[in-house]
Chain A
């Protein structure tokens, strides 16, 4: 069945048993992102220590794709330097915008390669990107604020890719 290319076992596993879920202290920034077309929402916190993504925690409502993607994303970015994590985000974004034409690099993207099939479904790409955009936004807020004391995005702030969609 064609559906299996989207709902890979890895995705369903992360969906059933999400990693790093639940909001945790301490954190430097918290954001709330929504996908206005389908009602998916995520609240996400990041903790940055020195130049490293020390923790990412989240809570949200959403489909299996968005939930699994959040789980995979936290696995990938926690413990990485901000620079490396941002590079991963770019790599994942490129994969999701590829409409299935890019062969993902498992050494780099690990479990996230399972989302290659999702990139063929334009309506679902946003689901896979929701938590990544939230993470990027939260991290940028910490990096941009001189007093890295946190701060929340306004309720219902919309990630960049949403605005273009």
Chain B
């Protein structure tokens, strides 16, 4: 876990002024209390302005023209790549591939494994077949589970997973058995969107390296909330998604080690990803463009670049360290306050160590009967409090803990302790409503 001592404090009231939507009232006169940032974050004005300015002043297709606008658009698009690379500690800008979201980034890697058979000998590391094993964890978002299930179906490889402990952590007691000589790839979530757990990626990656397996990390919930350095983590691929880190929807990132991207078979074919094309066959462009077929999400990339600038510049340049410190304090406050709510049970770690600000819980009424998360969410919404209910695209986690669904409150840089207190009051109202 990053050491947060001495990090400059985030002035949350100042931050909130950057997010126009946070001034909104809902249901008439209720101030919006947005506690659903794990689903998607709100966007600061700087991001909205960057997209608008791109369209108003520079719009053109990228990499395809010699006119002024085409050059400006290309420069802006590629500058966003530089910003993103620096943001996550990528040693080389060519290692940053733009995708439409995390799901596509993860699918891109999974497809490389099934396309490898059709590709040249250099794609050996991506060859997968019966007898080979793919390892995930029981706390994956469906986006980092289903693509691997599909890959195993296509190739005959076996899917295995690391289980969870009762307190919501990864169970590493059988790591050496689950990740073994037959493991070709390990794909795991960095910070769980449902449990909030921050996983010991470096430890798992070290074991994977021992057995020569590739390591893929789903950083959808870590990059928006923690300082992340992909090099320090010692992994091979790292996926994240723009809309959860104050950027627009429609843009995500796959970072991959260059020597791997260079031998990785492409996923989508089309314009921009080629080198030479004849009627019979084609050769492919080097990464990252090899994986960016067709006109990319240009304005969204520009918006993501602006989001990265915004996050980096926070608290006098403390950036993500300040965001992480703020959210850590919020999480401690929330865990303490939620523990006071009668009938509330947290699903996930109950202490703030190696834990982010996505808190799932169950609530029971005065009669001890469970109040379904859907009903909890509805009564909270009536008070202007936005939470998410359901299985949070991580149904196996619900199965593991024997619950049909949970209510989840999730925080971000603009969340205040006052909003968490509003949630606690809102939950009391829920219990009164379903009390009789």
Given contacts A39-B390, A39-B395, A127-B374, contact A61 B382 (CB under 8 A): no
Given contacts A65-B374, A127-B374, contact A39 B382 (CB under 8 A): no
Q: How far is the CA of A40 from the CA of B398 in the complex (A)?
A: 12
Find B433's partner among A3, A62, A124 (CB 8 Å cutoff): A3
Given known contacts A39-B398, A39-B404, is B379 in contact with A63 (CB within 8 Å)?
Answer: no
Check if B378 sits within 8 Å of A41, measured CB to CB. no
Q: Bound state CA distance, A65 and B372, in angstroms?
A: 10
Interface of chain A: mostly helix, strand, loop or mixed? mixed
Chain A residues with CB below 8 A from B391, complex form = 38-39
B389 within 8 A of A: yes
> In the complex, what residues of B have CB within 8 A of residue A39's CB?
373, 390-391, 395, 398, 404-405
CA A121 – CA B389 in complex, angstroms?
15
Please indicate the chain B residues that have their CB under 8 angstroms from the CB of A7 in the complex: 433
Question: In chain B, residues 368-382, which have Cβ atoms closer than 8 Å to a Cβ of chain A?
Answer: 372-375, 378-379, 382
B67 within 8 A of A: no
- For the A-B complex, the count of residue pairs with Cβ-Cβ distances under 8 Å equals 49
Query: Does A2 count as interface, using CB distance less than 8 angstroms?
Result: yes
Q: Which of A89-133 contact B (CB under 8 A)?
A: 121, 124, 127
Whether the pair A62, B372 counts as a contact (CB closer than 8 A) is: yes
Residue of B378, B390, B398 with most partner-chain A CB within 10 A: B378
> B390 touching A37 by the CB < 8 A rule?
yes
Instruction: Provide the B382-405 mask, 1 if CB < 8 A to any CB of A, else 0.
Output: 100000011100010010000011
A15-42 vs B: 1/0 string, CB under 8 Å? Answer: 0000000000000000000000111110
Considering only CB atoms and an 8 Å cut-off, how many residues of chain A contact the other chain?
Answer: 21
Give the chain B neighbours of A88 by CB distance below 8 A: none
Known A3-B382, A124-B378; judge A64-B372 contact (CB<8 A): yes
Instruction: Give every chain A residue within 8 A of B27 (Cβ-Cβ).
Output: 2
A82 at the interface (CB under 8 A from B): no
Residue from A2, A3, A62, A124 in contact with B404 in the complex, judged by beta carbons closer than 8 Å: A62
5 A-B residue pairs with CB within 8 Å: A40-B405, A63-B372, A64-B372, A64-B375, A65-B374
B residues near A1, Cβ cutoff 8 Å: 382
**Minimal Cβ-Cβ distance residue in A for B372:** A63
**Chain B residues numbered 140-196 whose CB sits less than 8 Å from any CB in chain A:** none
Q: Mark out the residues of chain B between 387 and 436 whose CB falls within 8 Å of any chain A CB in the assembled complex.
A: 389-391, 395, 398, 404-405, 433-434, 436
The 5 tightest CB contacts between A and B, nearest first, are A63-B374, A39-B405, A63-B372, A61-B404, A38-B390
A78 contacts the other chain (CB 8 A): no
Is B404 in contact with A40, judged by CB distance below 8 angstroms? yes
Query: Smallest Cβ distance from A157 to chain B, in angstroms?
Result: 16
CB distance from A3 to the nearest CB of B (A): 5
Choose one: A6, A38, A64, A67; the contact of B405 (CB below 8 Å): A38
